[in-house]
Structure 1
Amino acid sequence: MEKIESNSLFNKYVSETNILDIFSNDMIDKMDFFHFNKGDILINEGECSDYLFFLVSGKMKVFSHSSSGKVMFVSHFKSLQILGETCSLWQKAPTASVQATTNGYCIGISLIRYREILLNDVKFLRYTCMNLGERLSYMNSNTCITMFDSLENRLASFILKNSKDNIFHYNLTECAELLCTSYRHLLRVLNAFCNNSKLSKTGKYYKILDEEYFIEIASDSYDVNS
Structure 2
Amino acid sequence: MEFLSGGTLAPARWAVLYAAHPWLERYPWQLCRYGKREYLCRFREPVGQLLFLLEGRVSVSLTPPHGRTHIITWSLTEGLICGDVEVALGNTTASADLRSEDGALCLSLPIAPHLEGLREDNEFLRYALARLSDQMIHQSIYTANNLLFLLETRMAGYVLAYSEDGIFRANLTHTAELLGASYRQLSRVMRSFTEQGLLKKDGDSWRITGWAALEAMAADMEQLP
What is the CA–CA distance in structure 1 between the aligned matches of 2:59 and 2:121, rounded to whole Å? 28
Segments of structure 1 that go 5 or more residues without pairing to the other structure are none
> Which stretch has the larger CA shift, 122-131 or 11-20?
11-20
What is the 5 A alignment of 1:154-193?
Answer: 154-193=154-193
1:113 aligns with 2:113: yes
Cα displacement (A) at 1:123: 2.0
Cα displacement (A) at 1:26: 4.0
**Superposed CA offset, 1:39-84 (max 9, x none):** 1111111112211101122111000122333311111112322223
What is the CA–CA distance in structure 2 between the aligned matches of 1:110 and 1:19, rounded to whole Å? 23
Are residues 17 and 218 of structure 1, via their aligned partners in 2, closer, same or farther at CA, if it must alter by over 3 Å? farther
What is the CA–CA distance in structure 2 between the aligned matches of 1:20 and 1:57, rounded to whole Å? 16
Amino acid in structure 2 at the alignment position of 1:206: W
Task: Find the residue that maps to 1:143 and give its secondary structure.
Answer: helix
Question: Structure 2-normalised TM-score?
Answer: 0.87
Task: Find the residue that maps to 1:15 and give its secondary structure.
Answer: helix
Instruction: Determine if contact 1:157/1:218 at 8 Å carries over to the other structure.
Output: yes
- Residue aligning to 1:60: 58
**Superposed CA offset, 1:188-226 (max 9, x none):** 111111111111224433221111111222255443xx8
Instruction: Determine if contact 1:160/1:214 at 8 Å carries over to the other structure.
Output: yes
Question: Structure 1-normalised TM-score?
Answer: 0.87
Q: How many residue pairs end up in the alignment? A: 221
Cα displacement (A) at 1:38: 2.2
What is the CA–CA distance in structure 1 between the aligned matches of 2:18 and 2:210, rounded to whole Å? 40
- Residue aligning to 1:136: 136
- Residue aligning to 1:83: 81
**Superposed CA offset, 1:132-187 (max 9, x none):** 22211221122111111221121112212332332222111111112111101101
Segments of structure 2 that go 5 or more residues without pairing to the other structure are none
> Which stretch has the larger CA shift, 126-135 or 188-197?
126-135
Cα displacement (A) at 1:37: 2.5
Instruction: Determine if contact 1:62/1:76 at 8 Å carries over to the other structure.
Output: yes
Are residues 161 and 38 of structure 1, via their aligned partners in 2, closer, same or farther at CA, if it must alter by over 3 Å? farther
What is the CA–CA distance in structure 2 between the aligned matches of 1:56 and 1:67, rounded to whole Å? 32
What is the CA–CA distance in structure 1 between the aligned matches of 2:19 and 2:141, rounded to whole Å? 27
Cα displacement (A) at 1:103: 2.6
Instruction: Determine if contact 2:53/2:78 at 8 Å carries over to the other structure.
Output: yes
- Residue aligning to 2:95: 95
What is the CA–CA distance in structure 2 between the aligned matches of 1:135 and 1:49, rounded to whole Å? 19
